[in-house]
Structure 1
Amino acid sequence: MPDDIINPPATRYQIISFGDSLSDVGTYAPMASKFGGGRFTTNPGQVWTQVVANYYGATLNPAFTGGFGVPIKANPDGYGYAQGGSRVADPAGEGNLPNNAGAITLPVAAQVQSFLATHGNFKPNQIILLNGGGNDIKINERAVAENKITPAMAADNVRTAASELAGLAGSIVQAGGRRVVVVNVSDVGKTPLGLTRPDSGVALTQLTVLFNDTLAQVLRAHQPEVTNAIITVDAFSFFNRILASYQAEGFVVSNTAVACNLSPPYNSSLFCSPQVYAVPNADQTYMFADEVHPTTRLHARFAAYVQERLATVTH
């Protein structure tokens, strides 16, 4: 890894994050911390957005906390808008329930709108991290498996979500964003969740590829001034590369088991703590904390990959 990725950069940036559980820095911590959790990983480890923020001399706190019966609270100093369960534009995310009984799942589009309503335009000293689409893919694949929609309808829904995410990137640039990091979706079909599906994740992989291809196509169609401000990060290739050589990357367990021994209804890494690690160092030796979320080590590896990508464009 290049020295400039290991050492802190000379220039400091404020980090703003929009997305889903992969980027969530603690939206549901008021409830999950009672069980030793707080983020969708091997707690108390950090997710990749926090690691990137630390690298650039910033601290990333949740913009909102609450959910699961805890009143929703806005945090003025919070720039981590990503929320576990969120979809790109549909408020009916994973785990969402009426009357704040479940996850908040504010859509990524609404997260961006919330930032602009509170802070106005983006500033030159900010790096904006944007991800989304994983929940759209999972929800549509499950709906097909349950005969609620057709495969063609699922494909249309996923293409729409990808186009919407690309549009959000463009709107962030138009609102002043100069460094907008757009992360595509890693291969959901090759997660532990994918391996448990009746087709061993084939449909999930197909929808992931469709999402990513559409996202890339729409991003390329933007005007040059928008395209020049967007930094794409290929999470799909990154995670498949790590998976293919996981032992060389320092992992002992790939996608065949998870680091957290969790029992229903607390079967998400949101509730994972060292007390339920499969082995004492599972946060460093396993790739996945639960059926879809990375461990602390895998988050750190991805953060370094993002930092390496940013080093080619930030000054």
Structure 2
Amino acid sequence: MALHWMRRAWLVAASASALLLAACGGGTVDSQFSPDRVVAFGDAMGDLGQAGSRYTVNDGTVNNWTQFVASQYGRDLAPSAAGGLSYATGNARVTAKPDAAGNSGTRTVKEQIDAFLAGNKLGGNDLVMVSAGTSDVITQARLVLEGSQTQAEMQANLEQAGRDLAEQVKRLVSAGATHVVVAGPFNLGRSPWARQTASTGLMEAASTRFNGALLVALVDYGRTVLYVDAALYFNNQTADGGSDFSNRTEPVCTSVDAGPGIGTGNGQVNSSLCTTSTLVANANPAQYVFADRVYPTPRAHQLFGDYAKGRIRDRW
């Protein structure tokens, strides 16, 4: 068993290297790529307000990482519900239904891509961003916490979900995309939800399973696909001694949702309901990593977007 896990760890590391490093001869150069369009798919980590609000502090700023990246290229990115090219939708899973909050009407990532490709084409001057997997991790981890499935079943389901996301990325490449940025879930073992439920190990294993399967399935796509490591980035931001934030463990929002909200249980903070009027008393949201039990604050999104933009610049 130890040998099996060492082999798995080596394969995931090799896959990550293939997708993180430029596929054109080593060394970095100034970016020559300037997209004509930015298109996005995914879950709440990329939702720009399909239902009118975002999963962060809704303060009117550039408060989502995908929008931040688009803005760095001087490109607009708006939700498809408002006529834009971001199809990412809160609580959406990769291919499975219902969504993380139990809704069957939410478009999966596959269905988002279906909808885009039904009326659009992709080309070499498009930047496509896919930010998904968090809702699948939430769903599967919650089932374990509720006693509805075993941890082994969770891990198998998340490996399949990671492979499913890789297949959707491959669809985008087959449709003509040559610059696809993929971010899987960050390590939910570092989330307030994990701390509040004493399940840091469970959620770290869940996130790792998804990302590992995704990376292995995309190992041959390093020329057209760039993996932006959200798990590594947020691990650094939530580590003790991190300098960007003073509060790395608690939500800054107080906007409790009586319903299922973000999928972590009824009666919990839901950042899609959060504004500057629903914050912890005297709190500065710029000093917090998390808006709710799972999703980041505007500043955390912006910093991750800056990290992603740097990775894109270095690659293309």
| 2:182–2:228 Cα contact (<8 Å) kept | yes
- In the TM superposition, residue 96 of structure 1 has moved relative to its aligned partner by 3.9
- What is aligned with 1:150? 150
**1:236-275 paired onto structure 2 within 5 Å:** 236-244=231-239, 247-249=242-244, 251-255=245-249, 257-265=250-258, 267-275=269-277
1:13 Cα deviation (Å)? 3.5
1:297 alignment partner in structure 2: 299
Residue 81 (structure 1) aligns with: 87
Cα separation, 2, equivalents of 1:245 and 1:51: 26
In the other structure, the counterpart of 1:162 is 162
Letter in 2 for 1:253: N
Contact 2:44 2:92 survives alignment (8 Å): yes
2:57 to 30, 33, 42: 42
SS at match of 1:254: strand
CA positional deviation for 1:144 = 1.9
* Root-mean-square deviation over aligned CA pairs: 2.0
Q: Distance in 1 between matches of 2:126 and 2:102?
A: 30
Deviations along 1:171-204, one digit per CA (max 9) or x if unpaired, are: 111100010001122111110001012x432111
Aligned to 2:107: 106
- Asked if the contact 1:42/1:295 (under 8 Å) is kept, the reply is yes
Tell me the TM-score normalised to structure 1 length: 0.82
Shift in Å at residue 281 of structure 1? 5.7
2:76 to 56, 59, 63: 59
Whole-angstrom distance in 2 between the partners of 1:280 and 1:311: 38
Q: Hey, what does 1:214 align to over in structure 2?
A: 213
| Superposed displacement of residue 277, structure 1 | 1.7
1:28 — aligned with what?
Answer: 51
Measure the CA separation in 1 of the matches of 2:168 and 2:33.
29
Whether the 8 Å CA contact 1:192–1:292 is kept in 2: the answer is: yes
> Partner amino acid for 2:210?
F
**What amino acid does structure 1 have at the position aligned with 2:217?**
V
Distance (whole Å) between structure 2 residues aligned to residue 148 and residue 248 of structure 1: 39
- Percent identity, please: 28
CA contact (8 A) 1:16 1:79 kept: yes
TM-score by length of 2: 0.82
Q: For 1:207, what is the secondary structure of its paired residue?
A: helix
- Counterpart contact for 2:35–2:127, Cα < 8 Å: no
Structure 1 residues not aligned, in runs of 5+? 1-7, 30-37, 65-74, 99-103
- Consecutive unaligned residues of structure 2, counting only runs of 5 or more, are 1-30, 262-268
Counterpart of 1:22 in 2: which secondary structure?
A: coil
- Letter of the 2:216 partner, please give it: Q
The change in CA–CA distance for 1:147 and 1:281 in structure 2 (over 3 A counts) is closer
- Any conservation in 1 of the 2:34–2:125 contact (CA below 8 Å)? no
Alignment match of 1:92 (pick from 82, 94, 98): 98
Choose from 231, 242, 267 the match for 2:226: 231
- Conserved in 2, the CA contact under 8 Å of 1:246 and 1:254? no
How far has the Cα of 1:12 moved from its partner?
A: 4.3
Aligned AA for 1:13? D
Q: 8 Å contact 1:184–1:235 — kept in the other structure?
A: yes
Tell me the alpha carbon deviations over residues 72-115 of structure 1, each in whole angstroms, 9 at most, x when there is no partner.
Answer: xxx4x3101000000010131022436xxxxx531111111110
Q: 1:27 to 1:280 in 2, by over 3 A?
A: farther
By how many angstroms is 1:280 displaced?
Answer: 5.3
1:159 deviates by 0.6
Cα deviation for residue 141 of structure 1 reads 1.4
- Classify the secondary structure of the residue corresponding to 1:292: coil
The 2-side partners of 1:191 and 1:175 are apart by 35
Moved more, 187-196 or 239-248: 239-248
Corresponding pairs, count: 276
